[in-house]
Amino acid sequence: MKTLTIGTIILKNRYIMAPLAGYTNKSLRKMALRNGASLAYTEMISCNALLYKNKKTFDMLPKEDEGGRIALQLFGGDIEVISKAIKIVEENAKFDFLDFNMGCPVLKVMKQFSGSYWLKRQDELKKLFHTLVSNSRHPVLIKTRIGYDENHKNVLDVIKIAAEEGVAGVAIHGRTKTQLYGGNVNYDIISEAKKMNLLPIIANGNISLNNISEVEKITNADGYMFGREALGHPTIFSNLILKEKGYPIIDDNIEQQTNFLIEHFNNLKKEFGIDTAISLIRGVGPFYFKGLQDASIYKSSIIKISSEKDFFDLMNQIKKLNK
């Protein structure tokens, strides 16, 4: 099994759970790690909100062993605020890497000159990276895109500055900010980043069990990050491991997926309480049925549940129907 070394930490394999706001809470991270991911990212956490002592934001901080390595991701646009936020997470959270978000294209984040707006602030990156590295007791990662738009693809320059300032690794979503989450992923630029041989490179963007070999061939990246493909499919990680070892992959089946869904629900209930668990499972539940027979029926049922009883009745019904 190939490993991935970032800074002083050796990850047991190269397969990583991406940060997904609204999804990668502790409940999901634990499932990704238990099924083989070598690293799981938190959702993006606001530096401003940490300074305001926002309770919801503090609740997002990982605080206990989750069964594997964790990257805590911050976002912010003000370097002074960012340095204070790092001190807060160093004192209040348990994690292995500090990650900084330089890829989010959402308006709310861009308005704070943060997320992928940093790709437009190249002159300030030396100071930003210096601040991240000098304030963090953990190795620092950045997660970015190939550039702001088609005419401004500056990720290679960003990596040079990051390496000079002591950043330990970089995850690259192979799209520009203006592409948002669709359109072609440019794996060639990720390959160029790898050839610079400055930092460990984690490839990201539409990577799946089906195309991992091809993406690896093109990019030769050190690590591979999975977002939407891993939603509802924690076995993507165990299957990636099987595939690398030369064994056949194990297809998802309805019984296994129903059991995962129950595990996820129970985790969410423990993490957030029953009301939030119901609302979150309505959001993430449909992903568990993707690709399975009768998926559309199950998807339309799970989004309608309004109580714990509804949830377990549906799970029992699905199990009975598929016996």
Ligand X SMILES: Cc1cc2nc3c(=O)[nH]c(=O)nc-3n(C[C@H](O)[C@H](O)[C@H](O)COP(=O)(O)O)c2cc1C
**In this structure, how many other beta carbons lie within 10 angstroms of the beta carbon of residue 183?**
12
Stated as kind and residue range, the H or E segment containing 88 is helix 79-92
The answer to the question of residue 280 lying near ligand X (CB under 6 A) is no
Specify the amino acid at residue 23.
Y
The answer to the question of residue 43 lying near ligand X (CB under 6 A) is yes
Partnered with residue 75 across adjacent β-strands are: 46
Tell which positions 138-167 bind ligand X, by CB under 6 A: 143
Distance in angstroms (rounded) separating the CA atoms of residues 128 and 131: 5
Q: Are strands 45-46 and 39-41 parallel, antiparallel or unpaired?
A: unpaired
- Report, in Å, the least distance between residue 234 CB and ligand X: 14
**In this structure, how many other beta carbons lie within 10 angstroms of the beta carbon of residue 282?**
15
Stretch that binds ligand X, among 85-93, 190-198, 223-231, 300-308 (CB under 6 A): 223-231
The answer to the question of residue 44 lying near ligand X (CB under 6 A) is yes
Q: To the nearest 10°, the Cα dihedral for 294, 18, 12, 134?
A: -170
- Report, in Å, the least distance between residue 144 CB and ligand X: 9
Q: Are 260 and 288 in contact (CB under 8 A)?
A: yes
The answer to the question of residue 20 lying near ligand X (CB under 6 A) is yes
Exactly one of 227, 232, 285, 286 binds ligand X (CB under 6 A); that residue is 227
The answer to the question of residue 179 lying near ligand X (CB under 6 A) is no
- Report, in Å, the least distance between residue 289 CB and ligand X: 18
Selected catalytic residue, list 33, 50, 85, 104: 104
**In this structure, how many other beta carbons lie within 10 angstroms of the beta carbon of residue 307?**
11
Q: To the nearest 10°, the Cα dihedral for 168, 19, 72, 214?
A: -30
Exactly one of 19, 36, 76, 139 binds ligand X (CB under 6 A); that residue is 19
Q: Please choose, from the candidates 39, 265, 275, 31, the residue with its C-alpha nearest in 3D space to the C-alpha of residue 169.
A: 39
Exactly one of 177, 229, 232, 278 binds ligand X (CB under 6 A); that residue is 229
The answer to the question of residue 21 lying near ligand X (CB under 6 A) is yes
DSSP, residue by residue, 197-216 = TSS-EEEESS--TTTHHHHH
Stretch that binds ligand X, among 14-22, 79-87, 160-168, 234-242 (CB under 6 A): 14-22
Stated as kind and residue range, the H or E segment containing 320 is helix 308-321
Tell which positions 72-111 bind ligand X, by CB under 6 A: 73, 101, 103-104
Give helix 254-272 / helix 274-284 axis angle, nearest 10°: 140
The answer to the question of residue 228 lying near ligand X (CB under 6 A) is yes
The answer to the question of residue 233 lying near ligand X (CB under 6 A) is no
Exactly one of 52, 181, 247, 312 binds ligand X (CB under 6 A); that residue is 181
Please confirm, yes or no, whether 104 is among the known catalytic residues.
yes
Exactly one of 226, 265, 287, 311 binds ligand X (CB under 6 A); that residue is 226
**Catalytic annotation, residues:** 104
Q: Rule CB under 6 A: which residues touch ligand X?
A: 18-22, 43-44, 73, 101, 103-104, 143, 173, 181, 204-207, 226-229
